[in-house]
Structure 1
Amino acid sequence: MSDDPGTVVVTTGHTACLPCLRSLGSRGIRTVVAGDDARTPEFASRFCDERVVTPPHDGDLLAYRDALLGLAARPDVRTLVPTREEDAYLLARYPDLFDRYIDTVSPPSAVLGRVHDRLRLARAAERAGVPVPETRPLGEVDDWSEPLVVKSRYNLLADAYLPDLDERSASQVKSVLHLEPDTPPDLDGLCRTYGHEPVAQEFVPTTEEYMVAALYDHGEPLATYQHRQLRGNTYLGGGGVYRRSAYVPQLDSVARRLLDELDYHGLACIEYMRRPETGEFLLTEINPRMWQSLPSTVRAGADFPYYYWLAATGRASEVECDYDIGVSSHLLKGELSHLLSVRRERSAYMARPSFLRRAAEIGVSCVRDPHFDYLRADDPGPFVRTVANYLRRS
């Protein structure tokens, strides 16, 4: 029997790709990085064994699919790690094509359709008996005095959810609009902006946001992890750019009840807000892929890239998840984005922080917790490439 464990394909979706390379590459698993830009920072990692430039994932979706299929068909490739919404969508949309070549641990279409649709996900949470902000189609709102935010109904705009779209088309609308109180919005204009009828969701004032990460195997949990988000991409929220590992039993219970209701299979990144008045955890969304803060997760000891590899290669029984509490790390470009949002963003419901005070807070936290997602002494290439790309665009 060959000692070669095989090859894994990792797509370059935000910062999740790099910890996958570092985790799997350090274990002797050959890594193929599939990215749509020859300058992608992950190509510069010493743990990247092979670089493949693919068609843009947000261009012709079928061309991107066929590029991934070409890699999956190689005899040495064992699995593909989904780091983008498009990856999870393609694995669910075309299972017969991918399953003939590789094994993956990703939600099937019946589950993914509920996860990608905020209305259906909210109904699932209600059936599970777990808290969720009131969520409804924008056109059903009749009281504009209550604090509301507008979001895309779907995590990914694609033909499986919006039949008028072409099969080759897929896009994301990440904009979250804080509505002015007592001011009815332009409904038709918002539908045009979002490309469909978006949802209106109850605004929850909170200073506590959490994430639960999980890997499930046909309804059974293999691994779970929690962190508290200390700062997001903007001062209004977004993905975590400064986080600290945690464990809250109540949060664990809420997340497991939801995933049980969904009969979940695959990766899940579940975002929560804590309601200050009651202490309950309210569901924000689920992302069915590796997550932006994965470097922090792995640093704490929860090695989800390796857990995924074990599950995808028939060794799920070997997954043993344990992690340290109180481990923090930063995404530096995310910290910069957060700081710039203080100048650029506004909300009818959230006070804008002082720019200088927030800059000082970021600086102090970087000194106190000098751990960073990209910057690592034994693998400096991705950080150097990121800086070079930024300077080139400036």
Structure 2
Amino acid sequence: MSRYDDAFANFVSLPVPSMRQLERVHDRLALADAAATAGVPVPETRPLSAVSDWTEPLLVKSRFNVLADAYLEDLGPEDVDVVKDLVHVDAAEPPERTVLRRTMRHEPIVQEFIPKDGEFVVGALYDHGTPLLTFQHEQIRGTSYTGGGGVYRKSMYDPELDAVARDLLAELDWHGLACIEYMRHARTGEYVLTEINPRLWQSLPVAVRAGADFPYAYWLQATGRGDEIVDDYEFGVGSHLLHGELGYLLSVLTEASPHVERPSVARTFMDVASSCISDPHFDYAAADDPGPFLAGVRSKLPF
């Protein structure tokens, strides 16, 4: 919709970022530059070809999550792929560049590893640089113990987190939806930018449960009723993605990282079980419609 906005403008009312805005957030090198311009903390970010020293704690990740001809010259209009590879570099065994390029199908980026004591999300709906609805949650657990999308989260508000999100979106002159992911630096306490996704997000149900109903607000904006959006929500509301919790448990059993200590299996199981009892709100588990939940469980099984 961003790329062909002119062709659809007379027929479809859909608030989406411009193609230039989309390129700045899809390209993680450009996003790091935008964050630096906005004065927002961001990990040092370089192309793979610019890195010769692997002795510092580093991560390798895709420069573009979405591979398309708008970003990569060797792709055609019918080519599309999604690359979410994340490599925790072991300084004793640096990765082979040719393997990384072949696996990710483009020149990836290298970022400094940020020691973190928390992960956070800011959801936002903007109208040409003006915020209509914002929301924050803390990610208690992700799809893996090393990170990933939130599977247990709680709504919250921190003015410092709000400030770095607004500064970045102001620099981008943002329009439409944005999901901004942050890490809290374990030593400095700063909120450090991870990435922006210009769409609705996996942990959306906790926002809706807390009162920040982004789908409804998006509909209001698209139909010219943005002034009816109430920018408010309840703090301390939690929700679980149950099949995601299963994925988290599996990551503790099967994954390893040179930078992140693996939690104990027993402690992890107790944490998941106790939080499900103390905070029994679930994204898709419903007695009268079990299909989505069962499909999610099946997608996480290793067989």
- 1:387/1:276 Cα in 2 relative to 1: closer, same or farther (>3 Å)? same
How far, CA to CA, are the matches of 2:17 and 2:5 in structure 1?
10
1:170 aligns with one of 80, 85, 92: 80
**2:53 is paired with a residue of what secondary structure?**
coil
Amino acid at match of 2:100: L
TM score, norm. by length of structure 1: 0.74
How far, CA to CA, are the matches of 2:260 and 2:19 in structure 1? 37
Alignment match of 1:248 (pick from 141, 158, 162): 158
CA distance in 2, matches of 1:221, 1:116: 21
Question: Is contact 1:144-1:183 (8 Å) kept?
Answer: no
Q: Deviations over 1:116-148 (max 9, x none)?
A: 000000000000011001111011112210000
Amino acid at match of 2:138: R
Cα distance in 2, alignment partners of residues 185 and 315 from structure 1 = 51
- Offset at residue 344 of structure 1 (A): 1.6
* Distance of aligned partners of 1:104 and 1:336 in 2 relative to their CA distance in 1, 3 Å threshold: same
In the alignment, which residue of structure 2 is the partner of 1:231? 141
Taking structure 2 as the reference length, the TM-score comes to 0.96
Q: Distance in 2 between matches of 1:389 and 1:230?
A: 20
Q: Which range moved further: 166-175 or 305-314?
A: 166-175
Instruction: Letter of the 1:316 partner, please give it.
Output: G
Task: Say if 1:241 and 1:293, in contact at 8 Å, map to a contact too.
Answer: yes
**Cα distance in 1 for residues equivalent to 2:207 and 2:258:** 33
Q: By how many angstroms is 1:389 displaced?
A: 7.3
Distance 1:278 1:357 in 2: 28
Distance 2:39 2:214 in 1: 28
Map 1:77-156; keep pairs closer than 5 Å.
91-156=1-66
Contact 2:115 2:187 in 1 (8 A): no
Q: 1:46 aligns to what?
A: none
For the pair 1:190 / 2:97, whether they are aligned, the reply is no
Q: Counterparts of 2:136 and 2:45 in 1: how far apart (Å)?
A: 25
Could you tell me which of 294, 300, 303 is aligned with 1:387? 294
Structural RMSD (CA): 1.5
Give the Cα–Cα distance (whole angstroms) in 2 for the partners of residues 162 and 365 of structure 1.
44
Match of 1:278 among 170, 188, 195: 188
Contact 1:138 1:200 in 2 (8 A): yes
Contact residue 285 and residue 293 of structure 2 kept, 8 A? no
Unaligned runs of 5+ in 1: 1-90
Letter in 2 for 1:105: P
Instruction: Report the AA paired with residue 160 of structure 2.
Output: Q
Q: Show structure 2 runs of 5+ residues with no match.
A: none
Aligned to 1:331: 241
Contact 2:243 2:297 in 1 (8 A): no
Query: In 2 relative to 1, CA 390–209 (structure 1 residues): closer, same or farther, beyond 3 Å?
Result: closer
Percent of matched pairs sharing the same residue: 57
Decide which of 299, 313, 316 is 2:226's aligned counterpart. Answer: 316
1:294 has 2:201 as partner: no
Kindly provide the CA deviation profile for residues 81-129 of structure 1, in whole angstroms up to 9, marking residues without a partner as x: xxxxxxxxxx112213332321111111010000000000000000001
Letter in 2 for 1:123: D
Sort the Cα spacing of 1:359 and 1:389 in 2 relative to 1 into closer, same or farther, 3 A.
closer
Instruction: Provide the C-alpha distance between the structure 2 equivalents of 1:371 and 1:117, rounded to a whole number of angstroms.
Output: 35
Which aligned segments of 4 or more residues in structure 1 are displaced greater than 4 angstroms? 388-394
| Alignment partner of 1:357 is 2:264 | no
Q: Aligned partners of 1:258, 1:388: CA distance in 2, in Å? A: 37
How many angstroms does 1:375 deviate by? 2.0
